[in-house]
Structure formats: C-alpha cells, structure tokens
Amino acid sequence: MSHYRTFTAYDAVAYAQQFGGLADPASLVEAQEVGDGNLNLVFKIFDTQGVSRIIVKQALPYVRCVGESWPLTLDRARLEAQTLVEHYKHCPQHTVKIHHYDAELAVMVMEDLSSHRIWRGELISGVYYPQAASQLGEYLAQTLFHTSDFYLHPHEKKAQVARFINPEMCEITEDLFFNDPYQIHERNNYPAELEPEVAALRDDAQLKTAVAALKHRFFSHAEALLHGDIHSGSIFVADGSLKAIDAEFGYFGPVGFDVGTAIGNLLLNYCGLPGQLGIREAASGRDQRLADIVELWNTFAERFQWLAREKTRDAALAFPGYASEFLKKVWADAIGFAGTELIRRSVGLSHVADIDTIQDKEMKLSCLRHAIELGKALIVLAPRIDSADELVARVRQYG
C-alpha cells in the first residue's frame, strides 16, 4: 500500500521540521507553495523571522500544467533526488543539496536557494553572470565524467544504469523533442502565421533523418547519468555561484544531450533578446551569449579531458587521444540536440520565456522564425561544425 498523499502547506512544514536537518526545527512555522514549473509542488518553508530556510518539493501524480487527464509517474521524485545526490557527490559546488527524500511520498527536502535567482530570468533581463558559463561547463564535466565508463567500474556502471531507468520521463522527451514538431500533433503550440515554417519541418527529409539519428542516440547511448533537463530554468545563479536543480528527467543517456540542452537554451536567449530589449540594445547581450557558449564548451571539454587523463580507470579508454575522439562525437551530438531544443521550444508544447514573453507580435514571430531556422541548420550541419568558433560563425550567418 502506498502512503502517498498530496501535501498541504501544513504537511510541508511538519515534514521540513522532521527531515530538514536544521538545528532549530521548531522555528519553522509557515509554508508557501511557489512552484512555477509544469509538474510539481514546491514549498518554501519559513521560520518565525519570515526567512525562507528550506525547500520541500513533491511530485503530483499528473502533469500539473495539463491536469489529471495526463497521469505521470511518481517515481520521478526518486529519480530526481537520486540524480541530484549522485551529481552532488561529484560536483557539490554546482548541485543543490538534497537532505532527504521519500519514494512513496514522492517528496524531497532540499537546500533553500532563495539567495540565488533562476538564470533564465536574469538572461532575459540582461543581468550578466560572468562565471556562469564556465561553472556550467564544470558541472557538466564533473557529473558526466564521473558517471561514465571512463570512471565507473563496468559492474558499477551497469548497476547504476539499471537504478536510473526512467522510461516515462524519457518518453516525454522522446515525444516533445523528436516527434511532435515534425508531425501534426495536438500538443504542438505555435501561432498560425508560422504554419508555412512548421509545414516545412514536416516535409524536410534530410532534417527528419538527422532528427531520427538524434532520437536513436537518446534511446540507446547510455554514456553517463544525465541531468536530462538542464535548461536555464533549472539553474540558479548568484554572484560567483551556480547550482543545478530539477533533475527529474535524469537517466543514462548521451553526454551531448545535456551539453546540447544547455547550449540550446543560450541560443534561445540569443534569438529572443532583440524582442526583449530592442534590436540595438540586444547586441552586446547577444555577443555575450555566444561568448558564453564558447566558454561553456571550452571549460567542459578541457575539464573532461583533464579528468580523463587523471582518473580514467579503464585501460582501453585511457589510451591517449581516445578522450578527445569521444569529445568530437559529444560535440556533434550537442549541436544536433541544441537544434532540436530550439525547434521544440518554438513549435512544441513547452515554450521558453525568452521568446514567449515578447510583447510585440511581429517581433515575437520574427524571433520564433529565427529559432526555427537556426535549429534546422544546426541539426543538419552538426557533423560539419568542427569547433565552437565555427558554431559562432554559423549562428551569426543566420541572423
């Protein structure tokens, strides 16, 4: 029998008192539900001074933004907590700390990051965090290297792959990234003015072949324990600090998927900034975004290679030069996955505020068109874009 029940604010306070690991649990007195996501309840728990001290997050048995007609596994809370615990082991400086989780209640208690801001909002309003891109590169290198076959014993790796089987959440990604935008589907969500561009996606055989290859990699390449949803809305930033949250899509997949999701969201911001700030005012922010992408990739690749040199346990994989060969494949995958993120966020169910909140209708359409065209180009050209500088040159070609 499952003990699952949906928490009230009162339940959340009691739970935080019991499992928050605070020295003064009785000072916790009030909870406020702040979840702005599509899926879950998030409670901030306040003390008698009105200071938010700890977070309680609970999965609901359905998709919150759709309703009870779209049921969704509660096991995602276990997967989120376990992914974050695993990532924290390898990269505590850039992963939210999980204090406690309960699989039956689908609940976790975690570190309060109210001193931080969600990166997406900061990127949209033009607040620049100069270290964020390299810190994200560091997070990706540490978490992905240490959960890959470069580092784990083959028995341990296989046991971990089994522990992180996440079929229902993977299916959402499989549908939303790789199917919906390339077919007529009721979940798709785009303005009627874009019908010609969206119809062109459905009719592009070269594009659909490349998308099939990306989906096939997502299905079958258990390279490392991915965050699975590392967009700028799953990242908290503060001065000199960056923390990943919200890992309920965690599973063993292709390393390029996490890297590509991160790059894709920086590119979505690049596409949206002219609509947010005005064309001239957006220029420097856009340059920063491209510099961020180069910085993110360079940090990731250098750190991964360094870790591979110092810590690879498998004799064959430790052969000099192999790690850099592997990273070439990761790069090509990342460009392709970034392209699918641009398209699915413009045409599919779930949009990003970087473009969605643009007030001027014509400007918004133009930003959406830009994201779709850039996404298409990246998916098809991925195997021919050999470096981060080459990527920047290609992006500039598309406006």
Return binding residues for substrate.
229, 344
Q: Of 72, 107, 109, 110, which one interacts with ligand ADP (CB under 6 A)?
A: 110
Residue 26 beta carbon to ligand ADP: minimum distance, rounded to whole angstroms: 22
How far, CA to CA in Å, does 217 sit from each of 193, 230, 252, 388? Answer: 33, 18, 11, 22
Q: Would you report the helix, strand and coil content of the chain in percent, each value rounded to 5?
A: 60, 15, 30
- Binding residues for ATP, by number, are 40, 57, 111-113, 246-248
Restricted to residues 120-139, the positions that interact with ligand ADP (CB under 6 A) are none
Residue 177 beta carbon to ligand ADP: minimum distance, rounded to whole angstroms: 17
Quick one: tokens of 221? 């390449």
Q: Which residue has the tokens 């009719």?
A: 203
Q: Output the CA torsion 282→287→290→291 (10° steps).
A: -140
Residue 234 or 288 having the CB closest to ligand ADP: 234
Does 118 bind ligand ADP (CB under 6 A)? Our answer is: yes
Q: Is 51 exposed, middle or buried (0-12, 13-18, 19+ CB in 10 A)?
A: exposed
Q: Is 160 exposed, middle or buried (0-12, 13-18, 19+ CB in 10 A)?
A: middle
In angstroms, rounded to a whole number, what is the distance separating the alpha carbons of residues 268 and 395? 11
Does 51 bind ligand ADP (CB under 6 A)? Our answer is: no
Q: Name the CA radius of gyration of the chain, rounded.
A: 21
Q: Which stretch binds Mg ion (CB under 5 A): 204-212, 239-247, 314-322, 368-376?
A: 239-247
Residue 179 beta carbon to ligand ADP: minimum distance, rounded to whole angstroms: 22
Helix (H) or strand (E) holding 30: strand 28-33
Does 247 bind ligand ADP (CB under 6 A)? Our answer is: no
Residue 297 beta carbon to Mg ion: minimum distance, rounded to whole angstroms: 24
- Binding residues, by number, are 40, 57, 111-113, 229, 246-248, 344
Q: Which residue has the tokens 């994989």?
A: 317
In three-state secondary structure terms, 248 is coil
Count of residues touching ligand ADP (by CB under 6 A):
21
Q: Of 12, 13, 16, 39, which one interacts with ligand ADP (CB under 6 A)?
A: 39
Q: Is 272 in contact with 368 (CB distance < 8 Å)?
A: no
Q: Of 9, 17, 30, 35, which one interacts with ligand ADP (CB under 6 A)?
A: 35
In three-state secondary structure terms, 63 is strand
Q: Is 339 in contact with 378 (CB distance < 8 Å)?
A: yes
Residue 36 or 325 having the CB closest to Mg ion: 36
Q: Of 34, 127, 199, 393, which one interacts with ligand ADP (CB under 6 A)?
A: 34
Quick one: tokens of 347? 């045409």
In angstroms, rounded to a whole number, what is the distance separating the alpha carbons of residues 67 and 106? 18
Residue 175 binding target from Mg ion, ligand ADP, none, CB below 5 to 8 Å by type: Mg ion
Residue 243 beta carbon to ligand ADP: minimum distance, rounded to whole angstroms: 8
| Position closest to ligand ADP via CB | 37
Residue 178 beta carbon to ligand ADP: minimum distance, rounded to whole angstroms: 21
Q: Is 380 exposed, middle or buried (0-12, 13-18, 19+ CB in 10 A)?
A: middle
Q: Of 11, 175, 204, 356, which one interacts with Mg ion (CB under 5 A)?
A: 175
Q: Of 35, 37, 121, 383, which one interacts with Mg ion (CB under 5 A)?
A: 37
Residue 48 beta carbon to Mg ion: minimum distance, rounded to whole angstroms: 29
Does 246 bind Mg ion (CB under 5 A)? Our answer is: yes
Residue 42 binding target from ligand ADP, Mg ion, none, CB below 5 to 8 Å by type: ligand ADP
Residue 124 or 198 having the CB closest to ligand ADP: 124
Does 37 bind ligand ADP (CB under 6 A)? Our answer is: yes
Q: Is 250 in contact with 227 (CB distance < 8 Å)?
A: yes
Nearest to 150 by CA among 359, 30, 310: 310
Does 108 bind ligand ADP (CB under 6 A)? Our answer is: no
Q: Which residues bind ligand ADP (CB under 6 A)?
A: 34-40, 42, 55, 57, 96, 110-114, 118, 234, 245-246, 248
